[in-house]
Structure 1
Amino acid sequence: MDSDKYLEGQSMQRPPLFESDSFIYWKNRFETYVKSKDLDLWHVITNGDFQPIVQNPETKLDEVIPFEKQTDDLKKRLAKNNEAKMVIYNALPRKEYERIFMCNTAKEIWKTLLITHQGNSQVKDNKIDLLVQQYEQFVISEDESIDSAFARFNTIITSLKALDEGYSSKNYVRKFLRALHPKWRAKVTAIEESKDLTSLSLDELIGNLKVHEMIIKKDSEIVKAKVERKSIALKAKKESSDEECSTSGSEDEEYAMAVRDFKKFFKRRGRFVRQPRNEKKTFQRSRDDKNGKSDRKCFRCDNPNHLIGESPKPSKYKNQRAFVGGS
């Protein structure tokens, strides 16, 4: 037979491939697959092989029916024993096959797999206790989505169910409602008042909560957009105000600099610039000193009453040309 036909999903004759890391997941799929094919096969796996035994009416004892005396219906029934073993073999990899190849019946094979990967009754009880603790302590954080919370919750209740432990649907609904964050309190109250929790399924509850979650998200986006617009407006206003303050400060600084320059200018003029003079008055004031007279006199005629510019005596160099030397 072509090996491609044994690939899972390409042939309905191939059972789900064994997964040691997700044994509970594989166990549930395998059980569903076998039951969909033949209920007698699942009966053989869980309860043991069919036996070719008949009760002797005289001795009231069970006797094995020889192969020659077996009817066609009994032979078909006994063939279920090998069919059940073959279904399990087809689902197992070589490593797992080496664990169970010494088992004679499908029931022994199935029991070996359960003990190896699921543990004995003590291990099973410990796993149940751990899952029950997770179930009781299950809470939903403020930022967690309904899809994410339901995925975690569903993993717990599915694992409990695989270990033959579980709660009622009503309990699941109430537990999920109690696990919601306080921000959902108004919605939880509305559901409790409008719905009959005894008949409300968990899937219906999740759908209802997801619709409300979408509404909350949309409202939050609207509020966020308004806040952003307000923030942008305030920022623009602040920048405009800062610009005006900067301009005003610059103008004040320029005015102060102009005043300082103006004061410096007049200070320099008052200290160094010569004032207009009347020569006679200036001379009259300058000749009076502490002693009432001045030592200054005309350089040309030695008259102390005037300077050389007012001397009546003509200069002896008047008619001489000035000699200008130069190269």
Structure 2
Amino acid sequence: MDSDKYIEGQSMQRPPLFESDHFICWKNRFETYVKAKDLDLWHNILNGDFPPIDRNNVTQILEVVPIEEQSDDLKKKLAKNNKAKMVLYNALPKKEYERTFMCKTAKDIWQSLLITHQGNIQVKDNKINLLVQKYEQFTILEEEFIDSGFARSNTTITSLKALDEGFSSKNSVRKFLRALHPKWRAKVTANKESKDLSSLALDELIGNLKVHEVVMEKDSEIYKGKKERVKSIALKSKKESSDDETSTSRSDDEEYAMVVRNFKKFFRRKGKFVRQPREENKSFRQRDEKKEKSDRKCFRCVDPNHLIGDCLKPSRNKDQKAFIGGSWSDSENDA
């Protein structure tokens, strides 16, 4: 149980456990813890050890006092040098302790942690610039909840304040309103018109937006329910219409088939519309062709094997030739 509290930083008997991945967060928690325990310890961590000096009662000049001549008050004050180191060591894991155990003072340990995990002045300035850019470009996504967006925004602001003590978040309310998705435009306008944004606390704004978020979610659920019902009715109507069309088409096909059957029955009774066998049709065609060929013959020699144009027999007189020529010309005119 004690180890869980120690890891979570909930114990007042032990400092928050060092977190390299969340150094800025740990740094703020550790500072608060030390100040709550003893302000002199935090002064010692920032400014260095208390020197073993005291004011001479005769000369009123500050002088280094040998350990055997130190007063109880001075000894208690000097003991805080080691207490400050112990507070830091209790917060560090083994890896960080091994890296800093050669430091002589609590200030040296603290500065080593800052340079390693926060960077020097140049690195610190670069981090500040990146965080400022991230803060300015911050937007809340369309489907993102207000709590989630506020947590992301607050993380950026906290990191900026930890790196830059002069950073001011007085315009955070306006910035958060600008970061909202366009679907919040009506609510943003209402807040701007009804509230004094310069005095409105960010927590109050978040609470107001969360109430409106619940209303929007309920409206969305109602709209989705209506949309699903309309869609279901439309699909049902479409299915019924399709069934009616299929039934009508099937009925029309059946009526057409019945008419064709009755038509065939009628002609069968009359002896017509009887399909002849293929062999019989073939014999009829052959007979017609033979008859047509038997009627063909030469007008000059009456030979059925050729026509007069191919006949080799000479004509008997000119009148016959003229008669034949006239016959051909008449036939051509008729044609």
So what's the TM-score if we normalise by structure 1?
A: 0.77
User: What residue in structure 1 maps to residue 202 of structure 2?
Assistant: 202
Closer, same or farther: CA 227–219 of 1 in aligned 2, 3 Å: same
- Larger fraction in helix: 2
**2:192 aligned partner:** 192
Question: For the Cα contact (< 8 Å) 1:170–1:200, is it kept in 2?
Answer: no
State the alpha-carbon separation in 2 of the partners of residues 200 and 28 from structure 1: 26
Answer whether contact 1:5 1:11 (CA < 8 A) is retained.
no
How far apart, CA to CA, are the structure 2 residues paired with 1:80 and 1:158?
30
Cα shift readout 1:73-98 (whole Å, capped 9, x = no counterpart): 21111111100100110111111111
Which residue of the partner structure matches residue 176 of structure 1? 176
Deviation at 1:8, TM superposition (A): 3.6
Would the aligned equivalents of 2:6 and 2:15 in 1 still touch at CA under 8 Å?
no
> Judging changes above 3 Å, is the alpha-carbon distance between structure 1 residues 13 and 139 closer, same or farther for their aligned structure 2 residues?
same
Name the stretch that deviates more: 53-62 or 126-135: 53-62
Give the equivalent residue in structure 1 for 2:259: 259
Matched-pair contact (CA < 8 Å) for 1:20–1:117: yes
Give the corresponding residue for 2:102. Answer: 102
Structure-1 separation of matches of 2:196 and 2:272: 106
Q: Distance in 2 between matches of 1:83 and 1:95?
A: 21
Q: In 1, distance between residues paired with 2:15 and 2:71?
A: 30
Any unmatched runs of 5+ in structure 1?
274-327
Structure 2 unaligned regions, length at least 5: 274-335
Q: Secondary structure at the match of 1:271?
A: coil
CA gap of 1:12–1:179, structure 2 versus 1, over 3 A, is same
Amino acid at match of 2:115: I
Matched-pair contact (CA < 8 Å) for 2:52–2:65: yes
Alpha-carbon spacing, 1:12–1:60, altered in 2? closer, same or farther (3 Å) = closer
- After TM superposition, the structure 1 = structure 2 runs for residues 94-243 of structure 1, keeping only pairs within 5 Å, are 94-165=94-165, 167-243=167-243
Answering whether residue 13 of structure 2 is matched by residue 39 of structure 1, we say: no
Q: Secondary structure at the match of 1:63?
A: strand
- The one-letter code sitting in structure 2 at the alignment partner of 1:95 is K
Change (3 A) 1:78 1:195: same
The structural deviation recorded for 1:251 is 0.9
How far does residue 169 in structure 1 lie from its aligned partner after superposition?
4.1
Deviates more, 1:188-197 or 1:254-263: 188-197
Inter-CA distance 81–131: structure 2 relative to 1 (3 Å threshold):
same
Q: What amino acid sits opposite 2:48 in the alignment?
A: G
Mapped contact 1:56–1:63 kept (Cα < 8 A): yes
Q: CA deviation at 1:220?
A: 1.3
Shift of 1:11: 4.7
Structure 1 contact 49–105 (Cα < 8 Å) conserved: yes
1:21 positional shift: 1.2
**Structure 1: distance between partners of 2:237 and 2:194:** 49
Structure 1 residue 223: deviation in Å?
Answer: 1.3
Shift of 1:14: 1.7
Give 2:324's aligned residue. Answer: none
How far apart, CA to CA, are the structure 2 residues paired with 1:247 and 1:91? Answer: 83
Deviates more, 1:172-181 or 1:262-271: 262-271
Cα distance change, pair 192–272 in 1 and its aligned pair in 2 (3 A): closer
What is the rounded CA distance, in whole Å, between the counterparts of 2:123 and 2:20 in structure 1? Answer: 16
- 1:12 aligned partner: 12
Q: Which amino acid aligns with 2:98?
A: E
TM-aligned CA deviation for residue 6 of structure 1: 8.9
- Equivalenced residue count is 272
Distance 1:118 1:169, change over 3 A: closer
Q: 1:303-314, aligned counterparts within 5 Å?
A: none
Q: Distance in 2 between matches of 1:237 and 1:180?
A: 41
Change (3 A) 1:78 1:171: same
Distance 2:250 2:13 in 1: 89
Once the 2 structures are TM-superposed, how far is the Cα of residue 69 of structure 1 from its aligned partner? 2.0
Contact 1:124 1:163 in 2 (8 A): yes
What residue is the counterpart of 1:25 in the other structure?
25
Taking only the aligned residue pairs, the percentage that are identical comes to 66
Instruction: Provide the C-alpha distance between the structure 1 equivalents of 2:6 and 2:177, rounded to a whole number of angstroms.
Output: 42
The alignment partner of 2:270 has SS state of: helix
Tell me the amino acid that sits aligned with residue 26 of structure 1.
Answer: W
Closer, same or farther: CA 126–5 of 1 in aligned 2, 3 Å: closer
Letter in 2 for 1:20: S
TM-superposed CA distance for 1:121, in Å, is: 0.6
